Amino acid sequence: MNKKYYITTPIYYPSAEFHIGHCYTTIIADAIARYKRLAGYDVFFQTGTDEHGLKIETKAKEKGVTPKEYVDEIIANAKDLWQQLNISYDYFIRTTDEHHMTRVQEIFKKLYDKGDIYKGEYKGLYCVPCESFWTESQLVDGKCPDCGRDVNLVAEEAYFFRLSKYQKQLEDFYEQNPDFIAPVSRKNEMLNNFIRPGLEDLCVSRTSFKWGIPVTFDEKHVIYVWIDALTNYITSLGYPDITPEFEKYWPADLHLVGKEIVRFHTIIWPALLMALDLPLPKKVFGHGWLIIDGGKISKSLGNYKDPREYINAYGVDAVRYFALREVPFGSDGNFSESSLITRTNADLCNILGNLVSRTIQMGIKYFDGNVKNPKVYADIDEDLKNSVNTLKDKVDQKIEELKINEALEEIFDVLRKCNKYIDDTTPWVLAKDEENKTRLETVLYNLLEAIRVCATILQAFIPETADKIFKGLKIDNNNFDNIYESVFEYQLGSEKPANLFERIKEE
């Protein structure tokens, strides 16, 4: 049996249409999933939507539709978006799925029977007109941050999860698994702000809204987001039934999440799993955000477009490449249309597209498209060949460290080197003298090999473009098993393939 790799995105909240931030997380997850598949892993890549809660209930009411109708439309749209972005998810979970709901109910009951969920009273500061609870720190001048009116201290009956019970275990777990949270700064935040000061029990049911999964043994309660949403990572595998899928894929290898929900995934989720006696995920990566004009992406600011506009204008791989290349590990990165254009022109058009184009055209022009194995070595070849031969290991390492942007840098360093190699070897000069014909063939062969290796790796990041390159080289795409097995003979045909990318003129 192959090694397995279970990777997840968060399940997104479909209270509004998805934006480039959702795409960002999902594209990263997709690239990692594709990379692991190429490396021979049996990958399970899951994404989905978290569809319950007050906010959606309210939005649906405003629109005059049922909550289910409201989310159905957004989910259909999201699935279309993922398709356009070539997101290769294996499973799309919705918390409104029947099987998810019954499994959540079973989990809730299980924890209740065990004594880790108990009935208590939730005391909070409540704004009656807004029907919302607030914490001390959320208040603005002691008033409701939404409407500015007074809040009252109210109590409602609720079920609680004994989070406090797992404080010590969590601390120990962090100690023993220093790489559990990436980047490290996120771990410090969790330890210093929550775990060390002491964890409070967590309110896991609500009576203030109806749009959720009912508690089976107490129907006026609805199971709140923590247990409803976080458990998606195991209900999709059949849990609480111990299915073959569950045994195979759990624990997850990587939960990819935005920095705003690191807490839920590194405190609440592990504690729930401890309570269920299940192994914990191996890693949670809290990535940064795409920032627009220095601020976060926000519907109310109206500072973003439907991501499909970018895909339609510049191509899916321009968008994917930007998301994967522009933002450093764990930090925020700026997104703007002009930086997207610059990236696309500089890297995809000039370095990659032009290299493939000039190489193939020389193969056609000088050898009628038939470029066979190398015959005349020269010292100058060594540097390029070394870079190509070590590339796969370097990229492996970067992916392991989740430094996706640096992985792409490594690949493009090699592509740059190819362009330089052409200038250094001057094939157009070699072509003038019949005596240099075999040397010229070697030069082109080395270039074709370099391009093939890069394209093989690029399949994980910009799959559509990689496919185009394989078609241009007239070879089958392949995985990492035979990446360094030479093809020995390229039959490029006689027709120049279409450009991979057209330069974008900035308005």
Residues of this chain, 106-135, that bind RNA according to CB under 7 A: 132-135
- Site size for RNA (CB under 7 A): 78
C-beta of 53: minimal distance to RNA in Å? 4
Between 149 and 248, CB nearer to RNA: 149
Q: Which of 354, 389, 438, 478 binds RNA (CB under 7 A)?
A: 354
x/- contact string, 269-308, with RNA (CB under 7 A)? ----------------------------------------
Quick one: 39 or 262, whose CB is closer to RNA? 262
Any contact of residue 21 with RNA (CB under 7 A)?
Answer: no
CA 388 to each of CA 12, 327, 391, 417: distance values in angstroms, whole numbers, following the listed order:
39, 25, 5, 10
In 237-305, the DSSP E strands lie at: 254-258, 284-287, 290-292, 295-296
Establish if 77 lies at the interface with RNA (CB under 7 A).
no
Check binding of 138 to RNA (CB under 7 A): yes
Under rule CB under 7 A, residue 50 binds RNA:
yes
- Window 419-458: residues binding RNA (CB under 7 A): 419-420, 422-423, 426-429
d(CA 251, CA 190): 21
3-state secondary structure of 283: coil
Q: Does 230 bind RNA (CB under 7 A)?
A: yes
For the chain, the maximum distance between any two Cα atoms, rounded to a whole number of angstroms, is: 92
User: What are the start-end ranges of the E strands in 306-369?
Assistant: 333-334
CB 416, min distance to RNA, A:
4
d(CA 216, CA 214): 6
Residue 123: its H or E element: strand 117-127
Q: Taking CB under 7 A as the rule, does residue 199 contact RNA?
A: yes
Q: Looking only at residues 210 through 229 of this chain, which bind RNA when binding is defined by CB under 7 A?
A: 224-226, 229
Q: Does 317 bind RNA (CB under 7 A)?
A: no
Q: How far is the CB of 230 from RNA (least distance, A)?
A: 5
Position 488 contacts RNA (CB under 7 A): no
HSE-up of residue 24 (Cα within 13 Å, Cβ side): 28
Q: Determine if 318 is a binding residue for RNA (CB under 7 A).
A: no
Q: At what angle do helices 354-367 and 437-458 cross, to 10 degrees?
A: 150
CB nearer RNA, residue 37 or residue 439: 439
Closer CB to RNA, residue 247 or residue 401? 401
Burial of 344 (0-12, 13-18, 19+ CB in 10 A): buried
In the region spanning residues 323 to 342, those forming contacts with RNA, defined by CB under 7 A, are: 326, 328, 331-334, 342
Q: Cβ neighbours of residue 326 under 8 Å, at least 6 residues apart?
A: 333, 334, 335, 339, 343, 405
Distance of CA 42 to the CA centre of its chain: 18
